Structure 1
Amino acid sequence: MKSFISSAITAAALATLLNACQPTADVGKNGTTLDVDALANDIEARIKPDVMGYQIVVFADGSLRASRAGGNARRAADAPERKMDIGDKINVASVSKTVTAAALLHALNAKNVSVDSPVWSYLPKHWPLHSSIKTITFRQLLAMRSGFPKNVLSDYGSLKAAMIVGATSSRLTFSYQNMNFALMRFLIPNVAGGYSITPMPDNASAQKISEVEQKQAQEYTDAYMNYCQLNVFDKIGIAPNMACKPTDANPALCYKWAAPNGNGTDWGDMSLTNAERGWNMSALQMATFMNALHHTYKILPKNVADAMRRDTLGYDNANIMTGTGLKYIEKNGGYPASNNAGEVGAWLFGFENEVYVAVLVNSDPKPNTSVWTDVVAAFDAWYK
């Protein structure tokens, strides 16, 4: 069963975590002590002028060391106007993929299924499959090297149709396609087992197929979210009842500079297109997730979590270098202001000196600025 924690307990746990911050950690060169507050201050100084609202959270050496929040969560056009809080949850877009990767690897590890196993037998049984589907592995999905076609939507019907088309390009080439992770909405429950999914009757009519598939779409979504809650979010201690839609009263909204006085957006309910997107999280939850995944190993065994870093499974970049010579992993998520009422930007960073940074902003950055560049520049100035 899902575990449920009252909002009062959540608030108390959050307050305890924030109040326990010790700003220094032995994460400098040769184990020297550094002031993590200074890193958070520099990141904040760099991004604050360029976005409408922001959250910054830094873990170092296994503990929360610094957090910042500022700007507007809601503007005057969306009363009640209010400031951003460190606990505000926003749709983190493709950062959801890292959560999904952790959940899939958890299920594979629990069932002793190799990441190099083919995925096809864990798809809905009645889906027609192109022959190329039978050789695509879990690793290829996780690493965005499946060869799937571009711009496939993430709903049930679009994913089913894409299985008939199959892979259309080389699997040796990285190609960022959301459907790789959208398919994990089906794979995770089927690998894990124990979830009730309505079976498709033999010789079903077109009407019956449609009826069953509508049920399956919801059942797979519910099963995926339940697995993530139990095996990812419940492990980090401050993420009860997570959802792929806004659940707070007067949630933080996202805006764009092109319409500074316009209404913002909360992105709505993405439950039926989730796994590749959709989770509503705060930067505090994002950073705590990273720390639990790669430092305390509460979600995955060390060897599996290390493989995520080494093989770029669920990340955009791994083993890239800072200017000071440290490797780091990075995942970005966002929905652009160019074709939306607002923009969200979410970033996860994991530096090899056990510093984990999460940044969440609720608008497009001003022209010629970059949150990613700002975070790495601040890290280099701090670590040198």
Structure 2
Amino acid sequence: MTQRFRNSALILCLGLALADCRKSNDEVVAPAQPQTWFDFFGKALNDSLKAKKVGYGFVILENGELRASGSGGLKSRASEPEGEKAFTLDTKIHIASMSKTIATMAFLHLAAEKGIKTTDKILPYLPPDWAKGENIDRITFRDLMTHRSGIIGLGNNCVNGAFTENIWLGFKQLIQQGVKTANRGNYCYQNANFGLFRVLIPGILSYQFTGNDNTDDLQTQQRFMDYVQKNVFEKVGIRNVVANQPPGDPTYSYSYPYTGIVGWNPGSFANVVGAYGWHLTTSEAGKLYATVLSTTDQSVLTTAWKDTLFNNRLGTFAGTTPDGPIQYHDGWWFLKLAQYQGVRTVWMRFPNNVMAVLMVNALHHSRGYFPSDDGTDIVTYLARAYTLTRQMKTGRQQAGEWKLEHTEPH
């Protein structure tokens, strides 16, 4: 083994801040056969994550082809009614705000069908009986998909709303409240911006709103989910996706380090699906995001619409690495009582059509972020792992630095 390889391995361990990656150079075993940098990328993630004893899964794809993957830990511990069950690449998990990119895909697919532009106004597709507050007539689809609509929540303080602002009556209140002119065009991350597509997509599909809140609520839920199923998931070969845990087989959320507290099962998200709520396996998520966003496949989005998505940051965020630009969207869902329990998820598109998806079912017990020991959150963790693994390939530190847009959890 060369000294350069030993040094590269050590740099990777230190750079990733992996708590249990403390092997000496003498313990590094030379591979039996040549390995690609994808193998090292996967090994670095596996070595770090399995030491944490949390449920996790990741896939790394190039041009839609699987290059590396890993999973480990538990989706259900012995303390749960279902007993101890392993977390695998086929474990369904709530992908949280990674769902926002799916809502974007669905809308852009429909926009292409209907001749709608992202700069068109949303007003014609809202329920006609909803009272429209100040400036609602100025909001465009692009405003929603970039969090620049002016919607800042029912508390008027840009605190992201989760449940109450993403049910039917919550949307109705937000539209009635309107948005202040001073807030128009300013970035304010709000689930409701994407949750509203659950109402808007049925409206574009000519659903005739009845004015009965219960009827319209249930009808828009079903019509939105049906459209996404047929025009996003099934287009890439994924079937029967729901916004709920598999019956009798939930994936629980835990705290890190594990303290023995029973896991959290948040249940169904069917009545709030849109900004969050979809449940996918790691393999399914990798297939979806890689096929749509990092291959030439145009079954969901044409090349032109993909360019529109990336260039305008629609349902995505951006960043740079020494290798070039990246795009991503992370997800975060939690319960905080005595400590944090929840999920942390991310898809990230790297240069050269490399797509990585990483999902874990535990949060740091006091910080509430990715279960790291040094405070590194999931977006930074994955981007750093990529950068340092690429450095291992070249044997030298690459010029430039990585920067991430909106590194706060979403």
Instruction: Give 1:259 shift.
Output: 5.7
Partners in 1 of 2:234 and 2:113 — Cα distance? 17
For 2:51, the aligned partner's letter is: P
Match in the other structure for 1:72: 74
**Pair 1:180-2:179 in alignment:** no
Matched, 1:161 2:184: no
Shift in Å, 1:274: 1.3
The within-5 A match list for 1:177-256 is 177-193=190-206, 195=207, 197=208, 199-200=210-211, 212-237=212-237, 239-256=238-255
Q: Give the match's secondary structure for 1:273.
A: coil
Q: Is the 8 A contact 1:282 1:360 kept in 2?
A: no
**2:120·2:141 contact (CA, 8 Å) conserved in 1?**
yes
Q: TM-score, normalised by structure 1?
A: 0.83
Deviation, 1:247, is: 1.9
The share of aligned pairs that are identical, in percent, is 26
Shift of residue 51, structure 1, vs aligned partner: 5.6
The alpha carbon displacement at 1:220 in A equals: 0.3
Residue 272 of structure 1 aligns to a residue whose secondary structure is coil
After superposition, residues 1-384 of structure 1 pair within 5 angstroms as 34-50=36-52, 52-78=54-80, 79-150=82-153, 151-152=160-161, 153-168=165-180, 169-193=182-206, 195=207, 197=208, 199-200=210-211, 212-237=212-237, 239-257=238-256, 260-294=259-293, 295=295, 296-315=297-316, 317-318=317-318, 320-322=319-321, 324-339=322-337, 342-364=341-363, 365-367=371-373, 368-384=375-391
User: Judging changes above 3 Å, is the alpha-carbon distance between structure 1 residues 337 and 127 closer, same or farther for their aligned structure 2 residues?
Assistant: closer
Aligned residue type for 2:386: F
Paired AA for residue 199 in structure 1: T
Gaps of 5+ in 2: 1-34, 154-159, 364-370, 392-410
Tell me how far apart the structure 2 counterparts of residues 270 and 62 of structure 1 sit (CA, whole Å). 29
Q: Is the 8 A contact 1:46 1:374 kept in 2?
A: no
Give the C-alpha shift of residue 249 in structure 1: 3.2
Q: Distance in 2 between matches of 1:179 and 1:40?
A: 35
Q: State the one-letter code of the partner of 2:126.
A: L
Contact (CA 8 Å) 2:52, 2:257: kept in 1 or not? no
When the two chains are superposed, the root-mean-square deviation of aligned CA atoms in Å is: 1.8
Give the structure with the higher percent helix. Answer: 1
Q: What residue in structure 1 maps to residue 18 of structure 2?
A: none
Aligned residues between the structures: 335
Mapped to 2, the partners of 1:246 and 1:93 lie a distance apart of: 13
Residue type at the aligned position of 1:91: H
SS at match of 1:76: coil
Runs of 4 or more, structure 1, over 6 Å off, are: none
Residues 51 and 362 in structure 1, CA contact (< 8 A), matched pair in contact too: no
Distance 1:282 1:190 in 2: 30
Residue 328 of structure 1 aligns to a residue whose secondary structure is strand
Mean CA deviation greater in 287-296 or 92-101? 287-296
Question: How far did 1:34 drift?
Answer: 4.0
**Structure-2 change in CA distance of 1:104 and 1:51 (3 Å):** farther
Given that 1:328 and 1:349 are in contact with CA atoms closer than 8 Å, whether structure 2 keeps it comes out as yes
Distance 2:121 2:336 in 1: 38
Gaps of at least 5 residues in structure 1 are 1-32, 201-211
| Structure 1 CA distance for aligned equivalents of residues 86 and 135 of structure 2 | 51
Which residue identity is paired with 1:43? L
